Structure formats: C-alpha cells, structure tokens
Structure 1
Amino acid sequence: MKLELAQFAKDGILAGALSGQEAFVSLLKGTTKTAMSEAVFLDFAGVEVATGSFLRESVIAYRNHVRDAFPLLYPVVANANQTVVEELVMLLQLRSDAVVVCELNERGIVSRPQIIGIVDGKQQQALLEVLQREETDAPTLAKTTPEQKPTVWNNRLSALVAKGLLMEVGNGKTKRYRAVIEGLTYGS
C-alpha cells in the first residue's frame, strides 16, 4: 500500500500542524485493513520541504494510530529527500523515537531501508539482535543472556513492534520477530 503526501503540498511544501492533521485524516481514509503483515509506504516523492509540526501531526500520528488500530500494517517513510529526512530526524531525536525510511521505485521495489532517529538502550540491543539474525524469538535471545528471561526480551521486542520497526510473524505459541523491510539497517 502506498499513500502519497505530495497531494497535501503547496508548491512542494508540507507545513503546519493543522495541515498535518488534515493529512492524517486523509491518510487514514486511504488505509485499508489487510489479512497479512505489510508495509504502508508514506511516499514523499515530489515534496521539497516538510516542517516538524506537519510531520508530527501526520506521519508520527499516523504511525502511532495505525500501529494500534491496524496491527498488520507497518508505516514506512519512502522517497523523502535530505531536507525532509533532516527535519524528521530532528523531530525524532526530540521525542526519543525512530521510524523506518527507504527509497521506493515506481515498480514498488524498496532500496536503502534504514531506521532513523533514536532507539534507546536495551531496545537497541534487541533491535540489533533481530536485524543480525533476520528473524528470531524471545526464548532464543534469552539464551544469549541467561540473566535476562524471555519475558524481558519479549517486552523489548513488543515495544519495537509498537514503533513499527519490527514485524511480528506468527509461529504458533511463540512469537517471532523480523525487520519490517528486508535489509533494514540501524546505525552506521
């Protein structure tokens, strides 16, 4: 699923909290439930500038709402230029938050997927373990650090799923986790 943000831009500019709130409502109207886990690409192609207030009220609000209301959908920022990414990083740093960004071509092929923003402490450790292993579960991670129970790992992994950084995949009783987009990176 791809939702285009350029439709809300005036001369390539997305600005203001009120405009962001209007975009949020419109994005929700364009969102449909799915039977399988999938990424929802918030496409910034054609957008030159987006202010922090617009991004807060649209992208971040949308991500938070969708992760709660549509648990199989994972919002990803696509095709944001350097100016938009810089503004988004500043906003995320203020909030100690993170999102997935990537490039998305006209055929829907993803490239350069990465997490921008801040993933703190133990959640960062859990994230890096999953990214390294490609897919894993809490009991497996608990074996790497016997002093930490599977429930501790599961809580960290669940928090990363709530942020839309990891995807929960069904595997019977034990939940398994993987990156929202294949090849996802975080950090240098």
Structure 2
Amino acid sequence: MRIDMVEVSGGPILSGAVNGKDAFAALVKAVDREPKEPEALFLDFRNVEFATASYLRESVFALKTYMRSRSAKFYPVVANVNSSVMDEFSVITILTNDVIMSCQLDGNRNIMSQELIGTLDPKQQMTFDIVSKSEQIDANSLMEDFGEAEKTKGTTAWNNRLSGLVAKGIIREFSQGRAKFYRPLLDRGE
C-alpha cells in the first residue's frame, strides 16, 4: 500500500507537532484493514518539499511505534525522500536511537534503491545484513550458520536479535504454527 504524504498533509510543507498528530490520525484511518501477510506500507514523500523533525516524529514515527506495538502486518517505509527531509529523519533517529527503512520508488512502485536511516548496534546490524541477503531465515538457521562465530550456545540470542529488528519495523515476521521465520522488509520484486 502507498500513501501520498502531500495528500495526507494538504501541501508540500509538513511542519509542526500538532499537524504531525493530525497526520498520524489520518494515516491510522487510511490503513483500516490489515493485509493477509506482512508487507511494507509506503509513505510517499515524492512531492514533499520540506518536513520538520517534530512533524515526522508525531506522524511517521508515531505510526511506526503504533503499528509495531500492536503487531500490525503493515511496516511503514518512507519513500522518495529528498535530501532536506532525509536530514530531518536523521536527526530523529539520532535523538531517539531509532531506525526506519527508506527507499526510492519509480512510477510503477518498483523499488529502485533502499537504505536504513539510523544506526543499529553491531550485533543487530550483522543480523539485519544477514536477513537482508536471505529470502527467508529463522533463529535455528542463524544458530547453525553463525552460532560458533558469534559464540552463542542456543537460539535465544538469535530470537532476541530478530525480535528486536521486528520491533524496530525493519524486517518482517511470519508465523507458521508455532514456528517463526523472517524476511527482509523490502524484497527485490516488491
């Protein structure tokens, strides 16, 4: 699903915490139905000229927190962000020690590029990189392939890392019965 942030805000300048809270309410209303499978929710900034950190905090990051706290199947991704808005996203990720996925979409919604805004701790970064290169992975596979190198004795550490990345909204979690597996947030063909 793609949401045009200019339509949500009513213009190309997104500013102020109060306006951000109004945008949050509009975003929640726009995603009134859950998808069957976990998927990216593209917040398209294509025609946004500027956005303040307070607006982004109260809209985009509030939506991401809300979705992750209720284990929604939508995972917010910011798309087509210009450099000035990217600077504001970077400020928020530094101040809050958070991250968010960003990408460039073409007119047909094909992902042209993607990047993580913000910084992960080294263990999370390593796990994120492994998941990003995999079609699908689980904690047992990570333990088998990297347990010795990471000096882990069981799957608990891997489960914790994977759960942490899901909580940050940067990888997708799928369930089959009691088993959980994980996929990159943005697949190549998504």
TM-score by length of 2: 0.89
Decide which moves more: 135-144 or 66-75. 66-75
Per-residue CA distance 1:15-50 (angstroms, 9 max, x = gap)? 110000000000000002111211111111110000
Q: CA RMSD in A?
A: 1.8
Give runs of ≥4 in structure 1 deviating > 6 Å.
Answer: none
1:177 corresponding residue in structure 2: 182
Per-residue CA distance 1:73-111 (angstroms, 9 max, x = gap)? 111101111111111011101111111111122322122
2:84 corresponding residue in structure 1: 83
SS of aligned partner of 1:133: coil
Say if 2:173 is the partner of 1:168: yes
What number of residue pairs does the alignment pair up? 184
Per-residue CA distance 1:120-144 (angstroms, 9 max, x = gap)? 1321121122123342111111121
Cα distance, 1:163 vs structure 2: 1.2
Q: Is the 8 A contact 2:34 2:72 kept in 1?
A: no
AA aligned opposite 2:162: L
1:145 corresponding residue in structure 2: 147
2:160 corresponding residue in structure 1: 155
2:119 corresponding residue in structure 1: 118
Q: Distance in 1 between matches of 2:25 and 2:11?
A: 21
Q: Is the 8 A contact 1:79 1:103 kept in 2?
A: yes
Say if 2:32 is the partner of 1:27: no
Cα distance, 1:172 vs structure 2: 4.5
Q: Is the 8 A contact 2:9 2:23 kept in 1?
A: no
Percent identity between matched residues is 38
Q: Distance in 1 between matches of 2:99 and 2:181?
A: 21
Q: Is the 8 A contact 1:8 1:14 kept in 2?
A: no
Q: Distance in 1 between matches of 2:131 and 2:161?
A: 11
AA aligned opposite 1:62: L
Say if 2:18 is the partner of 1:18: yes
Q: Distance in 2 between matches of 1:137 and 1:73?
A: 20
Q: Is the 8 A contact 2:132 2:184 kept in 1?
A: yes
Decide which moves more: 3-12 or 63-72. 3-12
Q: Is the 8 A contact 1:8 1:23 kept in 2?
A: yes
Where structure 2 has 5 or more consecutive residues not aligned to the other structure, the ranges are none
Q: Distance in 1 between matches of 2:8 and 2:186?
A: 26
Q: Is the 8 A contact 2:8 2:27 kept in 1?
A: no
